[in-house]
């Protein structure tokens, strides 16, 4: 797109009128297409992600402490009766089934404006909001995780640091998150060995940072066997995926890939890489660092990345002094929420991704997590990570038929068979902010898109409501 402040060459006025109009139209059209996300395929080779999207005007007001967070009311308060009336019919849609929960909160004071249903619900991937909030609350958002190689004589040990996005080689098309890669680690390792005159090594690998089970017993038994998820590990490359299949032992798979990369750099690796612990006193000879935690959370929220969420759950556990396991991580998340005065009534967590159907979360817990994150300096980045309706992440293909709601809300999605949820915030027709959570966990499994559209209509009803008191 041409810059709008280019140097101009004077010409007769009549000679430039038509080209100028055409140029203005092209510029205007380009801006509209960019804001709508229609140029993503050309510019970003797919969804450009929240950080590259021009925020819709309805989500940026002068009163917002954070440009992408729910503003404190500046155009009057929300009338609870009007809000309830706006969503009532949508919540009763038969396609959503008999178990529907809703909670709406005022960002100004945290009071509940409207509610529907009772108890807790299967949250699906809205669980990641709790994981992301805990991660940003306990871990420095600029911290990163290190994958390193240590040497003792002719023995090397590849040590996993829990980098959820460690790659085999850098993918230049990846715009969502910076990635450390094994190819760079192998190059640095080979350079150090060559300088020391070492040309042949034995290789081991250490993935002991995380403990406990690699797959949750509360997951469907087919998740691992059918390559739906990779067993959680502190060491993997490309999340253990090779040719579309997921490794059953991702740490061993990463070590084999690393050995191949060393061989291509002139370092011979004898035997098969063996699991073990790094020997005391071994010298670090090469390392690569992950993207910062803030960027990792942005990616896992925007794309609803189950693998990254489970890795971050373990980092939350370690930051809280708990074992790096499912149990340690979920206990740490509950502690973080409780410390933040978030209502955890009925909360049951079995994982960090929401794959478990044993998870139970109340809509109010989700809504309060969003609201508290917006006013907490360390966790406020969670607001800008939420997908924008019709623009980014898991909402990029939703709300298409609800044109008045495009770009008027941000929310994390949750989807399992028969389960649909949304949690985030919306601005009503006059710009009043509403934090909300919407959950349905007994929808018709044969019509998931219909149920999803019904859920979107409820959220859209908030965005199109003139709900002022």
Reading the block at residue 110, the tokens are: 């945290």
287 and 150 inside one domain? yes
Q: Which domain holds residue 120?
A: 60-128+343-463
3-state secondary structure of 210: coil
The catalytic residues are 125, 128, 304
Q: Quickly count: other Cβ atoms within 10 Å of residue 4's Cβ.
A: 9
Reported as a single tens digit per residue, the pLDDT across 404-428 is 888 989 999 999 999 999 999 999 9
Structural contact between residues 52 and 175, judged by C-beta atoms closer than 8 angstroms: yes
Q: What is the CATH number of the domain that holds 370?
A: 3.40.710.10
**pLDDT band per the 50, 70, 90 thresholds, residue 171:** confident
- Residue found by looking up tokens 């042949």 in the block: 200
Average pLDDT, integer, range 284-308: 97
Same domain, yes or no: 105 and 225 = no
Q: How far apart are CA 462 and CA 227, in angstroms?
A: 39
85 versus 74: which is more confidently predicted? Answer: 85
* Contact yes or no for 221/325 (Cβ under 8 A): no
DSSP per residue, 123-163 = -GGGHHHHHHHHHHHHS-TT---EEEEEEETTEEEEE----
Model pLDDT, residue 69: 52
229 and 355 belong to one structural domain: no
Tokens of 389: 């309706």
Residue 160 pLDDT class (50, 70, 90 cuts): very high
* Residue in the block written with tokens 């601005």: 427
Tell me the two tokens of residue 322.
């708990």
Measuring CA to CA, how many Å separate 461 from each of 87, 427, 465? Answer: 6, 10, 6
Q: Is residue 232 part of a domain?
A: yes
Contact 335, 427 (CB under 8 A): no
Question: Which is more confident, 98 or 178?
Answer: 98
The reply to whether 327 falls in a domain is: no
Is the Cβ–Cβ distance between 186 and 258 less than 8 Å?
yes
pLDDT at 38 over 90: no
pLDDT score at 29: 43
Quick check: is 469 in a domain?
no
**C-alpha dist (Å) from residue 258 to 157, 192, 193:** 11, 15, 15
Across 252-256, average pLDDT: 98
Residue 72: predicted pLDDT: 44
Q: What is the pTM of this model?
A: 0.85
| pLDDT, average across residues 147-172 | 94
For residues 337-347, one letter each, b for 16 or more C-beta atoms within 10 angstroms of the residue's C-beta and e for the rest, the string is: beebebbbeeb
Same domain, 363 and 401: yes
User: Could you tell me if 149 and 189 are in contact, meaning their C-beta atoms sit under 8 angstroms apart?
Assistant: yes
Q: To the nearest whole percent, how much of the chain has pLDDT over 90?
A: 76
Based on the domain organization, do 75 and 159 belong to the same domain?
A: no
Instruction: Give a yes or no: residue 435 inside a domain.
Output: yes
Q: Is 256 helix (H, G, I), strand (E, B) or coil?
A: helix
Q: Quick: pLDDT tens for 320-340.
A: 999 999 999 999 999 999 999
The number of beta carbons lying within 10 Å of the beta carbon of residue 200 is 10
User: Residue ranges of the alpha helices (H) in 229-360?
Assistant: 250-264, 293-303, 306-319, 326-339
CATH number of 284's domain: 3.50.80.20
Number of domains within the chain:
3
How many Å apart are CA 51 and CA 387, to the nearest integer? 10
Residues 203 and 259 reside in one and the same domain: yes
pLDDT at 66 over 80: no
Better pLDDT: 445 or 46: 445
């Amino acid at each position: 797109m041409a810059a709008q402040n280019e140097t101009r060459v004077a010409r007769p006025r009549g000679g430039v009128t038509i080209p100028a109009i055409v140029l203005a139209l092209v510029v205007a059209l380009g801006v509209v297409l960019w804001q709508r996300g229609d140029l993503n395929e050309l510019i970003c080779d797919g969804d450009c992600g929240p950080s590259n999207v021009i925020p819709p005007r309805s989500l940026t007001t002068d009163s917002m402490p954070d440009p992408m967070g729910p503003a404190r009311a500046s155009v009057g308060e929300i009338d609870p009766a009007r809000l309830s009336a706006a969503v009532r019919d949508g919540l009763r849609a038969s396609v959503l089934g008999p178990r529907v929960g809703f909670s709406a909160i005022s960002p100004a004071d945290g009071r509940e404006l409207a509610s529907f249903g009772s108890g807790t619900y299967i949250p699906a991937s809205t669980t990641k909001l709790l994981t992301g909030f805990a991660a940003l609350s306990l871990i420095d958002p600029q911290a990163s995780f290190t994958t390193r190689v240590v040497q003792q004589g002719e023995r090397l040990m590849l040590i996993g640091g829990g980098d959820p996005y460690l790659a085999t080689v850098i993918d230049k098309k990846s715009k969502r998150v910076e990635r450390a890669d094994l190819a760079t680690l192998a190059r640095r390792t080979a350079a150090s060995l060559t300088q020391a005159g070492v040309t042949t090594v034995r290789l081991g690998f250490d993935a002991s940072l995380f403990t406990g089970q690699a797959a949750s017993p509360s997951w469907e038994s087919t998740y691992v066997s059918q390559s739906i998820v990779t067993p959680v590990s502190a060491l993997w490359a490309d999340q253990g995926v090779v040719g579309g299949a997921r490794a059953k032992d991702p740490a061993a798979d990463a070590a084999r890939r690393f050995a191949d990369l060393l061989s291509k750099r002139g370092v011979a690796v004898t035997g098969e890489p063996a699991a073990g612990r790094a020997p005391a006193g071994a010298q670090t000879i090469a390392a690569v660092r992950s993207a910062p935690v803030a960027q990792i959370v942005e990616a896992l929220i925007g794309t609803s990345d189950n693998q990254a969420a489970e890795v971050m759950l373990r980092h939350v556990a370690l930051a809280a002094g708990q074992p790096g396991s499912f149990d340690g991580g979920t206990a740490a998340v509950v502690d973080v929420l409780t410390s933040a005065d978030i209502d955890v009534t009925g909360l049951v967590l079995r994982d960090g991704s929401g794959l478990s159907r044993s998870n139970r979360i109340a809509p109010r817990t989700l809504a309060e997590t969003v609201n508290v994150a917006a006013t907490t300096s360390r966790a406020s980045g969670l607001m800008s990570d939420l997908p924008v309706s019709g623009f980014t992440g898991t909402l990029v293909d939703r709300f298409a038929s609800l044109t008045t709601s495009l770009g008027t809300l941000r929310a994390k999605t949750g989807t399992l068979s028969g389960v649909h949820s949304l949690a985030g915030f919306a601005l009503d027709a006059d710009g009043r902010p509403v934090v909300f959570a919407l959950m349905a966990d007994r929808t018709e499994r044969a019509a998931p898109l219909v149920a999803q559209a019904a859920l979107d209509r409820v959220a859209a009803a908030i965005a199109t409501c003139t709900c002022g008191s």
